[in-house]
Amino acid sequence: MTPTDVLAPGERPRLMTVHAHPDDESSKGAATSARYVAEGHDVMVVTCTGGEAGSILNPAMDRPDVIANMGEVRRAEMARAAEILGVAHRWLGFIDSGLPEGDPKPPLPEGCFALGDLEEQTEALVRVIREFRPHVLITYDENGGYPHPDHIRTHEVSMAAWEASNDPERFPDAGAPWQPLKLYYGHGFSRARILAFHEAILESGAESPYEEWLANWNSDRPDPGTRVTTKVPCAEFFPQRDDALRAHATQIDPTSRWFHTPLDMQARVWPTEDYELVTSLVETTLPEDDLFAGIRELAEQRRAG
């Protein structure tokens, strides 16, 4: 299947983002999703696990009724966040692995996503890709964005599904083959971005919430910001992003550092969300400011001719 086969005349390209847990879609690329929804594109968020093993990070939600029904609560939070962003949403239905802590770290629980069958997980994502038929797919890099076992497995599943989705011999019962045109990694937590906010806050005379984060930055870990190829302007949608974040009330403390940098300062200092173009089946020129760069031009060519 070639790029011209998958983009019908007049068709708006579609975007799919693949995440590990509910709340990841709101902390990573949410303003981008909201922008493209506002422009009339169909956007789907896929969440691999239910987030059942997530800790309660907001003291106001640390209640027995919430703890006893964590899976249901997180599903309701995800539904509200999707509504705020205007995106379609699909669960893959795998079990949250949790984040092992301690020295030595305990083993991951049996049956969890990170230890699951990669072929089964790949088929589940391929099925959604073939149904939604995205032109752009966003996932995490090989480090998972950060080394949570579910994030790393999300990368592995996404890459396997990218390879399999257009192969008619792979998962023949999962729908008609479909080829997305572009694959990106999201890179929201670059050191340069954090440093820019830190310095802007200090210049304003306020105390920076990023001091400890920068002091503890692992210098042996490459800065993902150096890999960015594509900066999507989306500051207009930062308030929508923050509303979606707050919808995940068990995970997001509204007094936390997520909200310490004023929105007008964010819009001035870093008005984009940032991505790395990994693979493109259409011609594009780097750096980009649009995830659909090259695809829009292809659509115009088809309309013209």
Model confidence pLDDT, tens digit, residues 32-71: 999 999 999 999 999 999 999 888 888 889 888 888 888 9
Ranges assigned E (strand) in 13-128: 15-19, 43-49, 88-94
Q: Are 43 and 237 in contact (CB under 8 A)?
A: no
The amino acid sitting at 10 is: G
Pairwise CA distance, residues 290 & 233, whole Å? 8
- Is the pLDDT at 257 greater than 80? The verdict is no
Average pLDDT in the chain: 92
Lowest mean pLDDT among 101-105, 118-122, 148-152, 243-247: 101-105
Q: Are 55 and 148 in contact (CB under 8 A)?
A: no
Nearest to 84 by CA among 26, 16, 39, 133: 26
Long-range contacts of 199-202 (CB under 8 A, 24+ apart): 200/261, 200/265, 200/268, 200/269, 201/260, 201/261, 201/265
Domain boundaries, the chain: 11-189+225-304
End-to-end CA, the chain: 20
Instruction: Output 274 or 11, whichever has higher pLDDT.
Output: 274
Lowest mean pLDDT among 89-103, 104-118, 214-228: 214-228
- Is the pLDDT at 27 greater than 70? The verdict is yes
- Is the pLDDT at 305 greater than 80? The verdict is no
Q: Across the strands, what pairs with 19? A: 47
- Is the pLDDT at 193 greater than 80? The verdict is yes
Query: pLDDT at position 90, please?
Result: 98
- Is there a binding annotation on residue 289? no
Pairwise CA distance, residues 122 & 114, whole Å? 13
- Is there a binding annotation on residue 103? no
How many residues are present in the chain?
305
pLDDT 10s digits, 262-298: 999 999 999 999 999 999 999 999 999 999 999 988 8
Angle between helices 70-85 and 30-38 (to 10 degrees): 40
Q: The dihedral of CA 252, 253, 254, 258: what is its sign?
A: negative
- Is there a binding annotation on residue 24? yes
Q: CATH for 11-189+225-304?
A: 3.40.50.10320
Whole-prediction pTM: 0.95
Structure tokens at 196: 């820019």
Nearest to 21 by CA among 45, 51, 46: 51
